[in-house]
Chains A and B, each alone.
Chain A
Amino acid sequence: MNIIVCVKQVPGTTEVKMNKETNTIIREGVEAIVNPFDVYAVEEGIRIKEKTGGKVTVLSMGIPSVAELLKETIAVGADEAVLLSDRVFAGADTLATAYALSMGVKKIGAYDLILCGKQATDGDTAQVGPSLAEKLGVPHTTYVRRIEEIREGYIRCQRMTDDGYEVIEMPLPAVITVVKEINEPRLPSLKGMMRSKKTEVPVWTAADIGANENLCGLAGSPTQVVETFVPVHNVNSEMIEGEPGEQAKKLAEKLMAMQFKTCN
């Protein structure tokens, strides 16, 4: 099977700190990582390939340095990686991103399944996967926690819902977005790391993929950011006063009186 996995570079948030004077995010020294949810998508793509044969191609859109990051996916077993990078793509919202990715997919060629992580950890929108499926005119299923069966032209999978799960079948080609419950990603092998060092990641421009510039980047984005500000948390906090013994008593009383919703 020909499998395409879409991944995004996101800031590795372990070092995210706020500058208290300017109220902005300190980004110095923040490493870039593959979006954690996409790592599960890469792993699942490799597992399918190991069962059915075929090829896993990783596709991303971003700044030129993302090419280096994509080699991490080669190290764990992806066959090829391609980066879409061009000033024309800058400022893309999810619609313009989905359009550019769809043109990249078309240039890669025939595919059976496209996998994405359920969302990226920087934007958290979860919109690109379904939007990409729409641009390609293929069906999609989000929040896939298990692939029950996959074969030529057919997939049956479990989608996590708010109170359980659904079993959904679709013909291939199709797009799925995966949740972290789907697998346990492997670490890179020594052989994989050697191979990733030798691999060149091709960089395709808007012209290379035949994209209409008016539909890419800022020009192709219906949404615009007009203002940014630092949030004020507004949880209704109740401070419990008193000596430790009293505090413990009051808290215990409140908790014992509460009812908690549970899902088994």
Chain B
Amino acid sequence: MADIKIITEKCVGCKLCVKACPFNAIEMQEKKAVILDTCTLCGVCVSSCKFEAIDFTKDEVQAMDISAYQGVWVFGEQANGVPADVALELLGEGRKLANELHETLSAVLIGDQVEDAAKTLIAHGADKVYLVDDPSLKNFNDESYADIFVQLIQEYKPEIVLMGATTYGRSLAPRVSSRINTGLTADCTKLEIDPEKKILRQTRPAFGGNLMATIICPNHRPQMSTVRPKVMKPLPPDDSRIGEIVRPDVTIPADLKTRVLKVVSELCEMVSLTEADIIVSGGRGIGDPKNFAMIEELARTLGGAVGASRATVDAGWIEYSHQVGQTGKTVGPKVYFACGISGAVQHLAGMSSSDTIIAINKNPDAPIFKVANFGIVGDVLQVVPALISEFKARLG
């Protein structure tokens, strides 16, 4: 069984491992580090020790024969025959990985009458498209899609499988990886091939984005990752690219238990600022509870709602119902104004998925600027009134 222990003779009591432990599971006893029961065997402490005083034994995992697995695959998620943007983005990324491995890039396309989509996938970088076309596959269905995907993996043995971290991808990928007992890393923000070992290094945020973790899947195949939309870049389409469309011999699952009765699309359209959902939030930086009037006025001018940081709510400046953040509301408006909000991690957790973030703060080093699309360094009490008159003039 895997175990981790401090080699007491080598430990000099420097406490570096205590600081490195993300789980607070190492403490000092008689000037030596001691690992507590709360340890999760994450191994972060091992590299923190300058004295090689941490002995981490991992079990030898029964290795499968991984040599037969070759090639990079992308799930060609589509709706009504149109590939999802994330599928094209993953082909762009998959192309790089496949080139480094000197292997082919393939897309898996499942649906009903979706052959045209296969051409789009090839134009965006696929060498090959595995096309499974059947009327029963018109809508995404966890059961049938997982079943077919597993059959394809077992038959063609890809080395790497990438899926978009969409509603469907995040449901399909764990179902597939669980059936074939391989590893899956969610929401990767960076993928690269280890130049020596030729394995996939998958980097993803952990602990609410406070820490990035690089994860490998050394002994199981395929190596599977999901990636959120807009993280990777698609290649410019090249209609002259030649690719092969393979219609594999798979068994289309019949007698499905899961039935999709209705698919309701709540239409998407483009709107201008005047129609966009807007939130204007105030933080400690507005200086005084009465200055929320100014925040409210900007919100009203733009037809938006008023938000607040936890600090202002705790101080009693505004009701809890306005609080945005980890312990308040999670919001994702089209436009988010952070006025006098420094941008503590907890606040960011509640609003960082907003489409456009505008930060106004007098401290140029405030963390809010790191997530802001537009930043204004200045006094909120001057900038916000200026914005109010500017927008009033423009919006009538």
| A residues at B contact (CB < 8 Å) | 11, 13-14, 16-19, 22, 24-25, 27-28, 30, 63-65, 87-88, 90-91, 93-95, 98, 121-131, 133-135, 139-143, 156, 159-171, 174, 213-214, 217-219, 221-231, 233, 235-240, 244-245, 247-249, 251-252, 254-256, 258-264
Contact = CB atoms under 8 A, between A and B. Distances in A.
Contacts of B139: 166
**Residue from A11, A65, A218, A239 having most chain B Cβ neighbours under 10 A:** A218
Given A219-B61, A224-B218, A229-B211, A260 B38 contact: no
B212 A225 contact: no
Interface residues of B, number: 111
A73 to B, nearest CB: 20
B386 interface: yes
Given A95-B182, A224-B58, A256-B273, 14 more contacts: A27-B21, A65-B38, A90-B40, A95-B177, A126-B170, A127-B184, A127-B186, A134-B178, A163-B265, A163-B266, A166-B262, A167-B264, A240-B375, A252-B394
A260 B270 contact: yes
B28 to A, nearest CB: 14
B39 interface: yes
Contacts of A240: 374-376
Top 8 A-B pairs ranked by shortest CB distance? A222-B183, A91-B41, A248-B386, A223-B183, A27-B24, A233-B370, A134-B178, A125-B186
Interface string B18-41: 011111100000000000011111
A235 B373 CA distance: 7
B167 A143 contact: yes
Contacts of B58: 218-219, 224
Nearest to A14: B327
B1 A88 contact: yes
Given A25-B211, A121-B208, A163-B268, A134 B179 contact: yes
Contacts of A214: 59, 62
Given A98-B178, A122-B208, A167-B262, A260 B216 contact: no
Interface of B: 1-2, 19-24, 37-44, 47, 58-59, 61-62, 139, 142-143, 146, 166-168, 170-171, 173-175, 177-179, 181-187, 201, 205-220, 257-273, 275-277, 326-327, 334-335, 345-346, 349, 355-358, 369-379, 382-383, 385-387, 389-391, 394
